[in-house]
């Protein structure tokens, strides 16, 4: 056998994503390049590693065993690289984060300077809905999770980074003269929801339930960006985190609608499993956050106080 580290990396990513297309996206390669590397790797084995049924890729039992071995080898190669950097006096290693989807508007600003100061540190960041983010934390797959709602069924420690504010949002054609008319608007205008498992969806459902709101129609969309564009187009209104609306509020495409019980205030938190032994990189990042978070918040997110 004469397989390469690159082939191992491609094969392992395919087994993770169950898709050549998704593997290509995550590896920043073309789809044909991934297909060629996967085929060249698989040709070195007498037993199939993957199989295509219909249009779906499946990993065989033997393929799963090879994937585990590939992951071990790749981790050992990374360890060699990290030890080399450490020997040179540089902080090195991989920082692994699971981030709820709205958190993508926040966490990059808390990562930027840290990564600039520590060029040998690698970042793995998975952006997903709250349910999947919490699952990754429970399974100890990440160093930290970044959430606005703290899970109650696991023991964690946390660091507050920033206030999270959820507001009722409509496009510029929505007219509200008094707060008393908000209930009429909510009754006659479709409400746009995030998908099940989203923290924003949970907050919105709680608000609707507490205020006994009966909507004309509920429309479900799978991302904040999709909800935002739907509101701009006039499809309906929604309760959304203000953090991702700055440009649209500034250019008057969207506006906040005053309503009883709003805004909903939570906090953006970095959370980790209680008692977890942090890597040097994770410890350094947490130390950086504790030292710099107030300055970052002031410099980047002070605009939120205007809404």
Q: Which CATH number is 224's domain given?
A: 3.40.190.10
The answer on 273 and 143 residing in a single domain is yes
The answer on 52 and 183 residing in a single domain is no
Q: Rounded CA gap, 267 and 256, in Å?
A: 20
The answer on 246 and 190 residing in a single domain is yes
pLDDT at 77: 78
Give the DSSP letter of residue 242. Answer: G
The answer on 73 and 13 residing in a single domain is yes
The token pair that represents 27 in the structure block:
């590896």
Number of domains making up the chain: 3
- Degrees to nearest 5, angle at CA 73 with 67 and 79: 135
From 59, 84, 109, give the residue that closes a domain. Answer: 84
- Degrees to nearest 5, angle at CA 104 with 99 and 106: 100
The answer on 238 and 177 residing in a single domain is yes
pLDDT at 212: 78
The answer on 247 and 113 residing in a single domain is no
Residue 222: strand, helix, or coil: coil
The token pair that represents 78 in the structure block:
């990374």
One digit per residue, the tens of pLDDT, for the chain of length 307 reads 788 989 999 999 999 999 999 899 888 889 899 999 999 999 999 999 999 888 889 999 999 999 999 888 887 777 676 666 555 566 778 899 999 989 999 999 999 999 999 988 989 999 988 889 999 999 999 999 999 989 988 999 999 999 999 999 999 888 766 544 666 777 778 888 888 878 888 888 888 888 777 766 678 888 888 899 999 999 989 999 999 999 999 999 999 988 888 898 999 999 999 999 888 899 999 999 999 999 999 999 999 988 8
The answer on 46 and 184 residing in a single domain is no
From 36, 66, 84, give the residue that closes a domain. Answer: 84
- Degrees to nearest 5, angle at CA 106 with 103 and 111: 110
The answer on 279 and 145 residing in a single domain is yes
The answer on 187 and 99 residing in a single domain is no
Residue 167: strand, helix, or coil: strand
Strand ranges for 3-120 from DSSP E: 50-53, 56-59, 93-100
Q: Which range of residues forms the domain containing residue 42?
A: 5-84
The answer on 173 and 146 residing in a single domain is no
The token pair that represents 20 in the structure block:
């050549």
pLDDT at 217: 66
The single residue listed with the structure tokens 């970052």 is: 296
The answer on 260 and 181 residing in a single domain is yes
CA distances from 251 to 178, 229, 254, 306 (A): 23, 14, 8, 14
The token pair that represents 243 in the structure block:
């953090």
* Residue 200 φ/ψ, nearest 5 degrees: -65, -40
| Nearest Cα residue to 204 out of 169, 229, 239, 242 | 239
From 84, 106, 141, give the residue that closes a domain. Answer: 84
The answer on 168 and 125 residing in a single domain is no
**H/E run at residue 241:** strand 238-241
């Amino acid at each position: 056998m004469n397989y390469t580290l690159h082939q191992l990396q491609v094969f392992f990513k395919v087994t993770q994503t169950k898709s050549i297309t998704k593997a290509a996206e995550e590896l920043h390669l073309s789809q044909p390049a991934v297909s060629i590397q996967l085929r060249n790797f698989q040709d070195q084995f007498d037993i199939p590693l993957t199989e295509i049924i219909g249009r779906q890729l499946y990993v065989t039992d033997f393929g799963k065993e090879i994937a585990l071995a590939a992951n071990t080898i790749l981790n050992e190669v990374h360890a060699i690289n990290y030890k080399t950097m450490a020997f040179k006096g540089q902080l090195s290693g991989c920082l692994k984060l699971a981030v709820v989807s709205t958190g993508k508007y926040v966490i990059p600003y808390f990562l930027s300077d840290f990564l600039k100061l520590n060029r040998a540190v690698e970042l793995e960041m998975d952006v997903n809905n709250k349910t999947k983010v919490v699952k990754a934390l429970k399974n100890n797959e990440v160093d930290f999770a970044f959430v606005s709602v703290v899970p109650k069924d696991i023991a964690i420690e946390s660091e507050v980074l920033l206030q999270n504010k959820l507001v009722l949002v409509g496009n510029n054609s929505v007219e509200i003269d008094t707060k008393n008319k908000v209930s009429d608007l909510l009754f006659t205008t479709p409400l746009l929801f995030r998908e099940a498992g989203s923290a924003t969806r949970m907050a919105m459902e709680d608000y609707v339930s507490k205020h006994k709101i009966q909507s004309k129609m509920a429309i479900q969309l799978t991302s904040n960006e999709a909800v935002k564009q739907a509101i701009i187009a006039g499809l309906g209104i929604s309760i959304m985190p203000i953090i991702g609306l700055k440009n649209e509020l500034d250019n008057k495409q969207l506006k906040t609608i005053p309503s009883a019980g709003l805004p909903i205030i939570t906090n953006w938190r970095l959370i980790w499993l209680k008692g977890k032994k942090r890597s040097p990189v994770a410890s350094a990042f947490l130390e950086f956050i504790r030292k710099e978070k107030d300055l970052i918040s002031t410099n980047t997110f002070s605009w939120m106080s205007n809404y």
